[in-house]
Amino acid sequence: MRGRTLRREHLRFVREMPRGGVLHCFVLDCSGSMLAGQRLALAKGLLTTLFDRASAMRAEAALICFGGAGADVRFGPAVPRWWNERWLAPVGGGGGSPLASGVRRAAQLLEHGARRRPAQQRWLWILTDGRTRDEPARPAGADEVVFVDFERGAIRLGRCEMLANAWGARRLTPEDLIG
């Protein structure tokens, strides 16, 4: 190669992974308000894509669903090897929006992950329309937080933006992640 000009095809991009790996904790709002306008369906489709990305990066992922009276862990944390929409098909919606319960369950999962793998980077993704009165505190175990704001319509409460600002988090729309 001496004397030859370095060209674009000679270069390869290799994404560097954090040495301790990454855990993506997804918290999905399954409340009744997410059923309006197919928001929950859109969120589930987006989750399929995000899980595929996590799998391609060999990152761990977890899914927590909240709605009605509480929150529960539906997957992980584990590397999602065969993730597809069939995993999300049984996830239904309805009832209230116990965001605080979902965030509390995520905080427990992230704290457990920090004890298990201290060098691991931990991302918290909250997919919601923000139709809640809860104002939970940011989980200490989250290195990065992203609110995916599904709020639509003429009357907007802006709670995702308010929480994102209070937590020093990013706020994105589904279109930001799809496009």
For every residue of the chain, which 3-state class applies, written as one string? CCCCCCCHHHCCCCCCCCCCCEEEEEEEECCHHHHHHHHHHHHHHHHHHHHHHHHHCCCEEEEEEEECCEEEEEEEEECCCCCCHHHHCCCCCCCCCCHHHHHHHHHHHHHHHHHHCCCCEEEEEEEECCCCCCCCCCCCCCCEEEEEECCCCCCCCCHHHHHHHHHCCEEECHHHHHC
Q: Quick check: 145 pLDDT over 90?
A: yes
Cβ atoms within 10 Å, residue 85: 11
Contact yes or no for 63/23 (Cβ under 8 A) = no
pLDDT band at 76 (very low <50, low <70, confident <90, very high): confident
pTM beyond 0.95: the answer is no
What confidence score (pLDDT) does residue 86 get? Answer: 66
Contact yes or no for 141/110 (Cβ under 8 A) = yes
- Residue of 94, 99, 119 whose CA lies nearest to 164: 99
What confidence score (pLDDT) does residue 75 get? Answer: 86
Mean pLDDT of 51-60: 89
Mean pLDDT of 86-115: 87
In this structure, which amino acid lies at residue 118? P
Distance CA 145, CA 126 (A): 8
Cβ atoms within 10 Å, residue 123: 18
Distance CA 94, CA 116 (A): 34
Q: Quick check: 6 pLDDT over 90?
A: no
Which of 35-39, 80-84, 92-96, 148-152 shows the highest mean pLDDT? 148-152
Mean pLDDT of 22-46: 93
Please state which CATH number belongs to domain 19-178. 3.40.50.410
Distance CA 170, CA 91 (A): 26
